[in-house]
Amino acid sequence: MVRPSCPVLLVHDDDAFRKKLIATLDQHNFSVTFATDGAGAVDHLKARTFAVLILGLNLAARRGVATLDFLREHRDAIKCGVIILGEPDPNVRTYAPWADETLLKPVDAAYVATRARAYCECD
């Protein structure tokens, strides 16, 4: 039996990694919306509800941090699980101490899908 889809917003600017992660999330029955920058992410977050946000932190021009700033300002209105994907950096958790998880790259796409499933109420 196919599980209901779970809406996820993926924000990442590395085409190859993003495409692999989207394919894996599709295989795990997620409904994927994606953005390649922080401005696109904020537009999507304003327009609809997601169960989980998977955010690449090291986007061009530090736009990932701008997305986190928006989420921090609207945390009461935007309720979703937040998974940060970051480069190995001891300070990565300082960007969003309230994020649900921080996964350090390189990370397996199937593992990201497994962690994202934990935030889906549709299971």
Model confidence, pTM: 0.86
Find residue 101's DSSP bridge partners.
83
**At 43, phi and psi to the nearest 5?**
-60, -45
**In the predicted structure, residue 38 carries a pLDDT above the cut 80:** yes
User: What mean pLDDT is predicted for residues 25-40?
Assistant: 92
pLDDT band at 1 (very low <50, low <70, confident <90, very high): very low
List C-alpha distances in Å: 52 to 1, 56, 89, 90, 91: 23, 13, 23, 24, 23
Per residue, the 3-state secondary structure of 45-106, as one string, reads HHHCCCCEEEEECCCHHHHHHHHHHHHHHCCCCCCCEEEEEECCCCCHHHCCCCCCEEEECC
CA angle centred on 37, ends 73 and 14, rounded to 5°? 135
**In the predicted structure, residue 93 carries a pLDDT above the cut 60:** yes
From the centroid of its chain, how far is CA 84? 6
pLDDT value, residue 123: 46
pLDDT value, residue 67: 77
User: What mean pLDDT is predicted for residues 83-95?
Assistant: 72
**In the predicted structure, residue 103 carries a pLDDT above the cut 50:** yes
pLDDT value, residue 95: 65
User: What mean pLDDT is predicted for residues 62-66?
Assistant: 64
**In the predicted structure, residue 81 carries a pLDDT above the cut 60:** yes
In the chain, domain spans = 42-57+72-89+98-106
User: What mean pLDDT is predicted for residues 31-42?
Assistant: 90
